[in-house]
């Protein structure tokens, strides 16, 4: 048994397709299939159910994959220890973001990261919060930006900033004409367009709806903020958008009017998290400093 064979098995578990797993592991499909058969022969047990349209793992296969993720994560920790010993401010850093934050935050911070840490190879991953946490625990990511609260004893949590939400309404909406700040209570009775299940922004918006007396507009769930934006422009409804998503270099389509809230505006708090066992903690602390140092007026530092 070797680490590479375990990587093949984990890739197959992740992609549930021999071709895609082979591509992800940078080998040919016959090579991946042959090595997995050798692994099964060595262990004396079937790990994969063959002959079905969908790739399925056996019960033993699922348990082996769970242990394999842990072993591969520890192996990466060993590589990180060696790399950190050679140069604490160099090497590869795998950083995760969720989809309603990454595209709007990265233009503000990537140039600063490259300037401050020119010898760090930054590998960025975009995924939903649950997937980011799974990859963190499995060693597939070194750190991730997620929304608070984070209740996980295995993760170190470094709060970064608070980001306010704005109300986006069509230009013919009654709230579009008022140029003052809105009280959160003005949302009462509004039907808001929201993202689909699995997006943390949906959960945050639902909490705001419950507090302010708004409701989710039935019959529609978007898969991205861009879809929400264009649905508002088309006059379908109203929604909540985070400030970074509506600030330059992002551009809102014609027909969308943004309204700010007065008082304590609806918001979300963003933190950077990494494994407490990570040997890259000093580097990650430095990266967190850069990620939290956004231009004034966009966010509030925590």
* pLDDT tens-digit series, residues 27-43: 999 999 999 999 999 99
**Residue 132 CB burial class (10 angstroms; 0-12, 13-18, ≥19):** buried
Domain 91-161+268-301 belongs in CATH node 3.40.190.10: yes
pLDDT band at 139 (very low <50, low <70, confident <90, very high): confident
* Domain map (residue ranges) of the chain: 3-80, 91-161+268-301, 162-267
CATH topology of domain 3-80: Arc Repressor Mutant, subunit A (1.10.10)
pLDDT of 210 higher than 80: no
pLDDT of 197 higher than 80: no
CATH topology of domain 162-267: D-Maltodextrin-Binding Protein; domain 2 (3.40.190)
Specify which residues 186 forms β-bridges with: none
pLDDT band at 289 (very low <50, low <70, confident <90, very high): very high
Question: Mean pLDDT, to the nearest integer, of 40-68?
Answer: 88
Residue pair 22/29 in contact (Cβ under 8 Å)? The answer is yes
- In this structure, what token pair is assigned to residue 248? 């330059």
Question: Mean pLDDT, to the nearest integer, of 115-130?
Answer: 90
pLDDT band at 52 (very low <50, low <70, confident <90, very high): low
Same topology between domain 3-80 and domain 91-161+268-301: no
pTM here is 0.75
């Amino acid at each position: 048994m070797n680490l590479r064979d375990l990587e093949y098995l984990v890739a197959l578990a992740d992609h549930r397709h021999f071709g895609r797993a082979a591509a992800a592991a940078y080998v040919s499909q016959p090579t991946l299939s042959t090595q997995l058969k050798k692994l099964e022969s060595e262990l004396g047990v079937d790990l994969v159910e063959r002959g079905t349209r969908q790739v399925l793992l056996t019960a033993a296969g699922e348990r082996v994959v769970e242990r394999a993720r842990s072993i591969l994560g520890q192996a990466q920790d060993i590589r990180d220890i060696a790399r950190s010993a050679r140069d604490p401010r160099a090497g590869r850093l795998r950083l995760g973001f969720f989809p309603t934050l990454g595209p709007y935050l990265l233009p503000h911070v990537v140039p600063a990261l490259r300037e401050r840490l020119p010898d760090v190879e930054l590998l960025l991953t975009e995924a939903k919060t649950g997937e980011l946490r799974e990859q963190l625990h499995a060693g597939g990511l070194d750190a991730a930006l997620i929304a608070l609260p984070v209740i996980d004893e295995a993760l170190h949590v470094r709060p970064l900033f608070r980001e306010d939400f704005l109300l986006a309404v069509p230009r013919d909406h009654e709230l579009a004409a008022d140029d003052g700040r809105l009280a959160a209570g003005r949302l009462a009775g509004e039907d808001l367009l929201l993202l689909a299940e699995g997006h943390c922004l949906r959960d945050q918006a639902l909490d705001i709806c419950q507090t302010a007396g708004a409701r989710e507009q039935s019959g529609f769930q978007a898969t991205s903020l861009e879809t929400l934006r264009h649905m508002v422009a088309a006059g379908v409804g109203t929604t909540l958008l985070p400030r970074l998503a509506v600030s330059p270099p992002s551009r809102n389509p014609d027909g969308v009017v943004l309204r700010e809230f007065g008082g304590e505006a609806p918001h979300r708090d963003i933190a950077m998290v990494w494994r407490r066992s990570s040997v890259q903690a000093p580097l990650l602390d430095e990266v967190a400093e850069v990620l939290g140092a956004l231009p004034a007026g966009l966010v509030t530092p925590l």
